[in-house]
Amino acid sequence: MTRKSIRTGIATYFGGSTLDARNFYRPTPLQGSGLSGVKPYYAYEFEDRDYVEGLPGTPIWGAVMCVDLPQMNENRHAIGGPGGGILNRPYGVNLFIWARGTQQYMETAQASMDDLIEATVARLRTDPTLGGLVLQAGEGPAGISISSGVPYGEPPTETRQDAVISFTANTYPAG
């Protein structure tokens, strides 16, 4: 399993199966929680429309996600001589989330971010294999780590906030 296949698989699991012209996977299974799209690679900046494109109705809050693989280890347990054994290749995964809201209150935007974080974790817990992509994700001693930033913006018209959901995805490729 390659880094690219892990990254793309995670992006489709959280973002949906269709890659649009702007490199977002959409429509996301987390649309109801405000996730507009997922990119398999980190993007430096987004247009305001990116946060809400594809969400139903006329949303005043939305978010985008990017997949980051900051770390990968390879552990081999040799069994039976050359060529035999078990290879464990765990990937550290960060799901970067950026959100933009045009609500009247920052508290409303923060509550929306809380809902999206909970929905993302619930999707991870529903199928820790990420749709059969990995052996397990978010399991073991490290579990799932969540970090969210302080909201900022131009009150009362705009609020931006970010969060990172981190976990380990274990793969056991042949070898």
The pLDDT tens digits of the residues spanning 30-47 come to 999 999 999 999 888 899
Domain boundaries along the sequence of the chain: 3-170
The pLDDT tens digits of the residues spanning 55-98 come to 998 899 999 999 999 998 887 777 766 666 677 789 999 999 99
The pLDDT tens digits of the residues spanning 105-117 come to 888 889 999 999 9
Give the global pTM.
0.92
If you write DSSP's letter for every residue of 56-96 in order, what string do you get?
Answer: SSS-SEEEEEEEEEEEE--EEEE-SSTT-EEEE--EEEEEE
| 168, pLDDT greater than 70 | yes
pLDDT at position 83: 63
